[in-house]
Amino acid sequence: MNRSLTLPRLLIAIVFIAIFTMAVRLPADTDTWWHLRSGQYILENQTVPTTDPFSHTRAGAAWIDHGWLAQVFWYSLYALGGWPGLSLGLAALVTLTFGLVWQVTPGNLYIRAFVMILGAITSAVIWVARPQMVSFLLAGLVLVLLEKYKRAGSRWIYAFPLIVLLWVNIHGGYAIAFMLLGVYIVGEIFNNLTGHSEDPVVAWPQLGPLLVVGAIGFALVVVNPHGWQMWLYPFRTVGIGALRDFIQEWRSPDFHLLFTWPFIGMLLLTLAALGRSTRRADWTDLAVLGLWTFWSLFAARNIGLFGLLAVPALARSTDAAWGQYLPGERKRVSRELEGTEETSQVPLVPSVPTSSLSSSRLNWILLGLVVFAALLKIGIALNPQEAIKAEQEGLPAKAVEFIQQTRPAGPLFNSYNWGGYLIFKLWPDYPVYIDGRTDLYDDVFIRRYLDVVSGGEGWQQALAEDGVNLVLIESDSTLARFLKGDPAWDTLYQDKMATVFARR
């Protein structure tokens, strides 16, 4: 067995160690908390809720818990390992996803590594323990199946309906599977019509199986606890106008924010590579890049998927533009995917001879240093004290502790931003007023909530109509200022982050 650590092997190891390390992070997303509570609810009651159990404003109303299976997965990790288990599970899922996509990422090794890291940094904005991350994995898997079918006629494409069946029970983003299938079909139609020859092209007869698996997958969407309603769910969610007006991740990206800059970098690199390349671009690559650029500009939450799904196409175009100037072998996915038993997939490690025993030893030392640095970062993220500190600095932990100890009378009005956290911490004693389940609350209710927190006309009447006796809100909010000046309300607790008010 050859144990020498060549530079290519070292580079690949560093890429995936870096991705895993980046993905181990402290709990920061407030929606994670209600997903955990929902997973616990499902396991304890042995049923998927079809009506809302967590709020007092929508109690008993129809609710499509589209992420139920992923919630069970995340809560099981949490129950077994706490926040460290959740963080490590997230990191493993992210690394697996990029490992799958690496298999269909072509070109010079150095270009592949660079584009993979850039894609990971771009997508890192959505790396949180939520159902959408399992959706992220399945999106990568569907991309791999389609790439292997296009470039080698792989029969694994017939697993597409089963992936859809799993996906529709994991996350409402199952529609991504059909979007990817659609752009591959459209791209291959254009490749046939234009006589594209620089890449493998799915011939007209081979387009039929794609249509068949798509039709079967669409029929299987109804196999979930909510039946045919999941056909319409993606359209209902996108159609909520308050999402784009109020929630940052549903708005078009604000390029003044730092987290959007890697996306800009990827986009500019794509344009430069396509312009510099001496070969005609594959229409399917253009379709994938075009669709996910559109969705990323439509809503910032889609930037994460662009960072994943654009990797193979971007690596291909970048390699065509500049690959000849870099060292290493140039491997073409089109020649190696599913060709023979030995070349059924792009090798994770290209065959590059070791220059010398001393260089191999130096590479092992460098790898050891990288692993050591990664373990230091991971250790900080997994430190229980750091998790407690992050919770206290980013969430109303002390205000919640006050409510748990003094138990003032509800019902509760709360900040939208904290609803998921309060479901985890205070339910069932204090059902929330609102939380991140925007599809449950709909446009009218969300806008009414916005009127209240902004001190708009009729805010006092709205609180009275909803029977609110307790308010937990940001200390620097407009509503907090209004409540402090209203003789009908007492301030029970206040710190820099949160204030608790009770009706007199």
- Residue 237 CA to residue 216 CA, distance in Å, equals 24
Contacts of residues 334-343 at CB distance under 8 Å and 24 or more positions apart, as own/partner, are 334/106, 334/151, 334/199, 334/200, 337/104, 337/147, 337/148, 337/151, 337/152, 337/154, 338/148, 338/151, 338/152, 338/153, 338/154, 339/152
For strand 489-494 and strand 498-503, is the pairing parallel, antiparallel, or unpaired?
antiparallel
Residue 332 or 500, more confident:
500
Average pLDDT for 109-113 = 94
User: Residue 29 CB: number of other CB atoms within 10 A?
Assistant: 17
Tell me which residue of 47, 36, 39, 54 sits closest to 440, measured CA to CA. Answer: 54
Q: Judging by DSSP bridges, how do beta strands 330-331 and 470-474 pair with one another?
A: unpaired
The confidence score (pLDDT) of residue 247 equals 77
Please check whether residue 142 is in contact with residue 199, taking contact to mean a CB–CB distance below 8 angstroms: no
* Among 137-146, 240-249, 320-329, the least confident range: 320-329
Kindly tell me if the per-residue pLDDT of 346 is higher than 60: no
Q: What is the token pair recorded at 424? A: 């985890």
- b/e for 225-245, b at 16 or more Cβ within 10 A? bbeebbeebbeebeebebbee
d(CA 368, CA 376): 12
Pseudo-torsion of CA 329, 335, 337, 341, nearest 10°?
A: -90
Residue 13 has which token pair? 């190891």
Average pLDDT over residues 359-374: 92
* Least confident range of 40-49, 203-212, 284-293, 390-399: 390-399
- The residue among 295 and 347 whose pLDDT is bigger is 295
Tokens of 104: 């269909």
What value does the mean pLDDT take over residues 162-191?
A: 97
Which H/E stretch holds residue 274? helix 261-276
* CB distance 173 to 135 below 8 Å: yes
Confidence of residue 313 (pLDDT cuts 50, 70, 90): very high
Identify the H or E element spanning 501. Answer: strand 498-503
Q: Which token pair is 345?
A: 């997939």
- Flag whether pLDDT at 211 surpasses 50: yes
Residue 443: pLDDT band (50, 70, 90) is: confident
Rounded distance, CA 444 to CA 211, Å?
39
Residue 356 pLDDT grade (very low, low, confident, very high; cuts 50, 70, 90): low
Q: What is the pLDDT of residue 438?
A: 87
Percent of the chain with pLDDT over 70: 92
Produce one character per residue of 457-475: b if its CB has 16 or more CB atoms within 10 Å, e if not: eebeebbeeeebbbbbbbb
Supply 75's token pair: 């809560």
Asked if the model's pLDDT at residue 86 lies above 60, the reply is yes
In the predicted model, is pLDDT for residue 336 greater than 70?
no
Mean pLDDT of the chain: 91
Q: For residue 327, what pLDDT is reported?
A: 56
Positions of E strands within 117-166: none
Query: Which residue's entry shows tokens 């234009």?
Result: 194
The arithmetic mean of pLDDT across residues 216-244, rounded, is 88
| Torsion angles phi and psi, residue 494, rounded to 5 | -155, 135
Place of tokens 């993606």: 234
Q: How far apart are CA 62 and CA 421, in angstroms?
A: 22
- Per the model's pLDDT, the better-predicted residue between 37 and 251 turns out to be 37
CB neighbour burial string for 113-143, b if at least 16 within 10 angstroms, e if fewer: bbbbbbbbbbbbbbbbbbbbbbbbbbbbbbb
Is this prediction's pTM over 0.95?
A: no
Coil vs helix vs strand at 403: helix
Mean pLDDT (whole number) for 208-229: 97
